[in-house]
Structure 1
Amino acid sequence: MVQSRAGQYGVMLFFMLSGFLMSYLYIGKSFDKSNIMSYVTARIGKVVPLYLVIVFSSYLLLSAGVKGVYEISDIHELISHVFFIYGESVLWSIAPEMHFYFLFVGLWLLAIWRPAFIYVLIAIVLSILYFSNFPRPHGSFLGLPYDFHVFRSLPYFLVGVALGMNYKSLKLPVYLKSNWFVAALLLIPLMYPEISPVNSSARMKMWLSYEVLFVMSFVFFSVVFLVPDSNILLANKVGDFLGRVSYSLYLLHMPIIVQLNKVEMAIEHKLVCFIVFSLMAAYLSERFIERPAIKLIRRRSPSN
């Protein structure tokens, strides 16, 4: 239970970082063909190729009777994954991320006209989501399963966008920056429902709680804005490597867990094997799938 819920906090930070980077990199740039193609190429190149490799591999392997990747068992589920309207296991988070890519184009256009309106829009959207109880439309249409998590994850993306818009202009005094702010990361394990000191029902809501959004926003703000860039815990070769393979690690770790759970061995040995195999698989995936795919897409981009 701890493991399945704990990973959600990492996804929250992922959505927040996604909004932050899009806002930081593109808002302020002209909305022209070159910049749009650069945006589309970067977003598609990073997320889509590996995702599609895993989705089709899961479907083909399961069709051949090989279990242990992702349970994409029929053509309807395959189509739903390809069109980002449904996601098995951790693949659910890729769909809202793709929805955010389209949404950001509208925010980018709004920023060209009246950037301050973005803050008003964010406040309105957050209010609507709260009073509508963070809807999650799901079901089946023409045999195609759909499950839209976008409305529950949208607040994190929007907060990231707002923070990204201010990263360059917000001049914090030197005395406010400190390596001690990295300790804000310790708030994340304190939010795990099983060990949280919070006694109210809010600790179990997670995506339905703005209290969680506030804490995760504080963690993100502390690490990005208040911790010096030279912090040894965040700026080192190990961290750079993990950041580079993080996407592959995220998509591949679950199948590795499934396979290891089939093996009889001590839990300590499973943990070591999980770390080693996950890092190896993530490195090979980043080296031979992610990186070549990004280069190929960029090379074929009309802007080049």
Structure 2
Amino acid sequence: MASVDTLIALEKQGTSARIYLDALTGLRGIAALWVALWHLWGFAGRPAYGLDVAGLHLDLTPLVRTGWAGVDIFFVLSGFVLGLAFCQAWLNNRPPVKPAEYFRRRLLRVLPAYYAQIIVLIVVTLLLGAGFPPVGDVLAQLLMVHNIFGSPATQLNPVFWTLPVEFDFYLLLPLMALSITPPRWYRLLLGAMLLVLVYRYTMFHFVLRDMPVGLKSWWLNQLPGRLDQFVAGMLAAWLFSLAREKGYEASMLYQWRRGLLVAGLSGFAALAWYIHALQPIGAVNALGLTYWGGHWSLFVWNSLAGLSIAMVVLALALGIRWANMLLANRSVIYLGLISYSLYLWHFPVIKWMHQAHLPRLFENAPLFNSLVWAVLPVLLISSLSYWYVERPFLRIRHRQPKS
């Protein structure tokens, strides 16, 4: 089996901008792991979770219950990584991005592991005697249009909702890329944030107000409801490219990188704490409004989170030694390499493990008990998906097409 260094070399070969950053691969792995931990926490009954250290009790429940925000990190990272190739082309450091090659690489990156899982899930459904899923629902998921012609209940895997959101962004990126040129780049960000605010506010008040929370979440998170996060990542890529063009150490951004990291982490932590403590999802606040009942945070939380994450991504890209020690070590990088398969497979595996009614080894720690039983199967199946489905197609994806 190839070493992590060999896998990293394959990853570097596949970066269309020819810029590979270990810390961002590690961040991708942490994001996938965070989403998995959140789902694991849900299956464990959503218990309070904390640690006692040196006589102090650390409440880690906010950290666990906001694991869904790992998806926000994915969206910002997509905007950054994919935007880099266009930024390098604008600065004449790379040839212009060819649309046919761009879409070929995207399809080979996303579809093989996705299609393989759909086949496995259908086979498992048949083996369990549930019958073949409705053909129309399966076809919609195969074509990545289940965000329009489907619903949360028709998905084979609950995490599938993010894939058409990403795919729609892939389709829009070449057009949006035309707007990231001085002095117009800020207009794209402001325009995206305004569009998202109008979309979410209008959809909620005129379409979704009386619908179940599941449908509110489904429709508010479709594009353009998350466009601002992709754009925040794109603009971080543009600023990074400008700093790289001038030479990192000569750029003002390089001098500010630690401040950017602190500001981004602080902003994101404050937003997560707010959701947990001041505006708990499902609980009524002092004004009598829940988050899903129309509180102002419903319309701007993701925009603010996207800006905070973009600052973190930009700081990591510019290089911070201690952050690289945490995110660019071999273990975390490996999680980043298998993060797509980890994201796809964690939910069904955790669900199957939960349905198996495995023994409770730790009666007073349900989350830890679930973690003990689920972590190895999730990592094993995710690794198998990466090695035997993703990796062969990544090799094909990285081949230069004949001119």
1:58 and 1:33, CA in 2 relative to 1: closer, same or farther beyond 3 A? farther
Distance in 2 between residues matched to 1:81 and 1:10, nearest whole Å: 22
Matches within 5 A, 1:281-300: 281-299=381-399
Of stretches 26-35 and 81-90 in structure 1, the one that deviates more from structure 2 is 26-35
Q: In structure 1, list runs of 5 or more residues that go unmatched.
A: 139-145
Conserved? CA contact 1:62–1:72, under 8 Å: yes
Paired residue for 1:77? 137
1:185 and 1:288, CA in 2 relative to 1: closer, same or farther beyond 3 A? farther
Choose from 120, 129, 132 the match for 1:57. 120
Matches within 5 A, 1:1-304: 3=41, 6-29=66-89, 35-65=98-128, 73-86=133-146, 88=155, 89-110=158-179, 116-133=183-200, 135=203, 149-170=222-243, 171-172=251-252, 176-178=256-258, 181=262, 184=265, 187-188=268-269, 191=272, 195-198=276-279, 208-225=298-315, 228-231=319-322, 232-262=325-355, 263-266=357-360, 267=366, 268-299=368-399, 302-303=401-402
User: Alpha-carbon deviation of 1:297?
Assistant: 3.9
1:195 and 1:37, CA in 2 relative to 1: closer, same or farther beyond 3 A? same
User: Alpha-carbon deviation of 1:131?
Assistant: 2.3
Task: Give the aligned residue type for 1:124.
Answer: G
Of stretches 72-81 and 124-133 in structure 1, the one that deviates more from structure 2 is 124-133
Task: Give the aligned residue type for 2:175.
Answer: G
Task: Give the aligned residue type for 2:70.
Answer: G
1:261 and 1:182, CA in 2 relative to 1: closer, same or farther beyond 3 A? farther
Q: Answer with 1 or 2: which has the greater Rg.
A: 2
Instruction: Tell me the TM-score normalised to structure 1 length.
Output: 0.79
Conserved? CA contact 1:38–1:303, under 8 Å: no
Task: Give the aligned residue type for 1:57.
Answer: V
Distance in 1 between residues matched to 2:74 and 2:111, nearest whole Å: 16
Q: In structure 2, list runs of 5 or more residues that go unmatched.
A: 1-37, 43-64, 148-154, 209-217, 244-250, 280-284, 361-365
**Number of matched pairs:** 291
Distance in 1 between residues matched to 2:258 and 2:123, nearest whole Å: 51
1:150 and 1:75, CA in 2 relative to 1: closer, same or farther beyond 3 A? same
User: Alpha-carbon deviation of 1:132?
Assistant: 3.3
SS at match of 1:46: helix
CA-based RMSD of the aligned residues comes to 3.7
Paired residue for 1:143? none
Distance in 1 between residues matched to 2:196 and 2:302, nearest whole Å: 15
